[in-house]
């Protein structure tokens, strides 16, 4: 199996553990009743399906698929579909809960869902990948839909797979239903901005945090750990906006130039060589050196557990924006709080993608097309409103922003259940 495959999956398991430990910590503070805990404790629906696919070798193989709809009090389920050989229904349930929490924090009318197929897509041909995708959708078609549960891309799935999902669902229902899935190609009702919406949503939050901390954009220096899809887009947008991006990294190395990096040049260099390391005019540094470099803003956009008890004390940044999933351990969180560093947690920081998914779903329902300017304006408004809501709770309770975000998400989900008469 591909090592990177294993690494991503392990990181997201850590994400679930961290989130659950954080929620355990605030249950007593929220004074939740037994009835409220009962509502939050288990998913509303969880499906395990088995479906046959005939391989190119002519053999029939059974595949296992999952879909979990954790809570739909605030709206239809929303969550990605991933293809990974080690999926379990327990793991999917944790991720579905996190999606529900994230949607509640940014106040969009979705519940949490997640799903996938236990398969290594690297071992499938393109035609087999399509057959597996269509077989999975045939197996769960009765349980998804524009007003029931809306899938999206996730680990090792992309907009082409979303296009196959859309087509298969429409074949089954014999109806034009673009709102059944988000993250589609633009030609089938998708939104261009979704490809960089996670990065841009995070930057909108960063701008608000800088106002709170009195940091001016002019001259502000940034270090970005990770130069994959999210990290590269973040560094590119910040560079275009006039920030001084002084350090970036990928899985093969990290580079530093205190006067600022030429991000388009770094991108071109990585495309040629396979890594940011060795970019002319820069100093090759270690990952720990990047995290501890002299910068105003640190953006972990790679793996989990990167900021931990052994290195958190060395962080010099004034603001940390978590665009990766769970890059900060609980021990590091406490150290960062003691250092008076503002940390914008992942459950809020990387929610731009699901916000733009909501916009895509909305335009599909109305058979409409939103211009890029409208999408960006509404994304900025949504992200800033969420930041203000979380930060206000943070000040009120004197707690970390992560704890405030979890408080807000839980309270909104329970309020919806109460309005429905379930509590």
Question: What's 3-19+42-179's CATH class?
Answer: alpha beta
pLDDT band at 6 (very low <50, low <70, confident <90, very high): very low
Question: How far is the C-alpha of 323 from the C-alpha of 348, rounded, in Å?
Answer: 9
Candidates 236, 318, 312; CA nearest to 276 is 236
Domain ranges in the chain with CATH number 3.40.50.720: 196-346
φ and ψ at residue 128, rounded to 5 degrees:
-65, -40
> Is the pLDDT at 14 greater than 80, yes or no?
no
pLDDT at 246 over 90: yes
Q: Rounded distance, CA 248 to CA 263, Å?
A: 9
In the block, tokens 């270090």 appear at: 223
Q: Per residue in 222-246, is it b (16+ CB within 10 Å) or e — as a string?
A: bbbbbbeebbbbbbbbbbeeebbbb
The C-alpha atoms of residue 375 and residue 120 are separated, in whole angstroms, by: 34
Reported pTM: 0.91
**Is it the case that residue 122 has pLDDT exceeding 50?**
yes
**Averaged pLDDT, 137-145:** 97
The answer to whether residue 127 scores a pLDDT higher than 80 is: yes
Residue 11: is its pLDDT beyond 60?
no
Write down the pLDDT at residue 34. 84
Summarize pLDDT for 51-83 with one digit per residue, the tens: 999 999 899 999 999 999 999 999 999 999 999
273 contacts: CB under 8 Å, gap ≥ 6: none
Give pLDDT tens digits for 176-223: 999 999 999 999 999 989 889 999 999 999 999 999 999 998 889 999
29 versus 226: the higher-pLDDT residue is: 226
Q: Give the pLDDT of residue 29.
A: 73
State the pLDDT at residue 31.
78
Catalytic (active-site) positions: 114
What are the tokens at 139?
């197996």
pLDDT tens profile 308-346: 999 999 999 999 999 998 899 889 999 999 999 999 999
Q: What is the mean pLDDT of residues 239-256?
A: 95
How far does the chain reach from its first CA to its final CA, in angstroms? 46
In which band, very low, low, confident or very high, does the pLDDT at 12 lie, cut at 50, 70 and 90? low
- Tokens (6 digits) for 332: 């590091």
Residues in the chain: 423
What percent of the chain has pLDDT above 90? Answer: 81
Query: Which token pair is 57?
Result: 């070798």
Looking at residue 341, what is its pLDDT? 96
Q: Say yes or no to pLDDT of 8 above 80.
A: no
Does the pLDDT value for residue 10 go beyond 60? no
pLDDT at res. 3: 40
Residue 222 is predicted with a pLDDT of 98
Q: What is the CATH number of domain 196-346?
A: 3.40.50.720
Q: Considering the chain, what is the average pLDDT of its residues?
A: 92
Q: For the chain, give the percent of residues with pLDDT over 70.
A: 94
Q: At what angle do helices 197-213 and 229-240 cross, to 10 degrees?
A: 50
What local confidence, expressed as pLDDT, does residue 2 receive?
40
Q: Give the pLDDT band (50/70/90) at residue 5.
A: very low
pLDDT at 7 over 80: no
**Could you report the per-residue pLDDT of 389-422, keeping only the tens digit for each?**
999 999 998 888 999 999 999 999 999 999 999 9
Query: CATH 3.40.50.10860 occupies which residues in the chain?
Result: 3-19+42-179
């Amino acid at each position: 199996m591909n090592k990177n495959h294993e690494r991503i999956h392990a990181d997201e398991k850590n994400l679930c553990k961290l989130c659950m430990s954080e929620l355990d910590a605030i249950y007593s503070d929220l004074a939740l009743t037994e009835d409220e805990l009962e509502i939050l404790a288990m998913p509303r629906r969880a499906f395990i399906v088995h479906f046959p696919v005939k391989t190119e070798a002519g053999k029939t193989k059974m595949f296992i698929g999952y879909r979990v709809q954790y809570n739909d009090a605030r709206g239809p389920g929303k969550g990605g579909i991933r293809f990974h050989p080690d999926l379990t229904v327990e793991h999917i349930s944790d991720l579905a809960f996190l999606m529900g929490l994230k949607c509640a924090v940014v106040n969009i009318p979705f519940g949490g869902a997640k799903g996938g197929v236990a398969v290594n897509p690297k071992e499938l041909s393109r035609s087999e990948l399509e057959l597996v995708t269509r077989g999975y959708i045939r197996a769960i078609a009765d349980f998804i839909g524009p007003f029931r549960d809306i899938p999206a891309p996730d680990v090792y799935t992309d907009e082409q797979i979303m296009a196959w999902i859309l087509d298969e669902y429409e074949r089954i229902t014999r109806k034009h239903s673009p709102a059944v899935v988000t993250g589609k190609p633009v030609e089938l009702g998708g939104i261009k901005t979704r490809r960089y919406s996670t990065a841009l949503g995070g930057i909108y939050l960063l701008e608000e945090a800088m106002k709170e901390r009195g940091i001016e954009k002019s001259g502000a220096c940034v270090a970005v750990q990770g130069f994959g899809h999210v990290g590269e887009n973040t560094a590119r947008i910040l560079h275009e906006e006039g920030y001084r991006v002084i350090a970036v990294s990928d899985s093969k190395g990290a580079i530093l130039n205190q006067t600022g990096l030429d991000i388009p040049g770094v991108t071109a260099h990585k495309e040629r060589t396979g890594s940011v390391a060795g970019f002319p005019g820069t100093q090759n540094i270690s990952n720990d050196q990047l995290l501890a470099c002299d910068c105003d803003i640190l953006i972990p956009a790679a793996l989990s557990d990167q900021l931990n008890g052994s290195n958190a004390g060395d962080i010099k940044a004034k603001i940390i924006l978590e665009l990766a999933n769970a890059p900060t351990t609980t021990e590091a969180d406490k150290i960062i709080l003691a250092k008076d560093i503002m940390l914008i947690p992942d459950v809020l920081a990387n929610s731009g993608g699901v916000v733009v998914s909501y916009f895509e779903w909305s335009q599909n329902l109305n058979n409409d097309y939103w211009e890029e300017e409208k999408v960006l304006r509404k994304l900025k408004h949504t992200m800033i409103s969420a930041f203000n809501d979380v930060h206000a709770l943070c000040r009120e309770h004197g707690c970390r922003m992560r704890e405030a975000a979890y408080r807000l998400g839980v309270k909104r989900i329970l309020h919806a259940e109460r309005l429905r008469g379930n509590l």
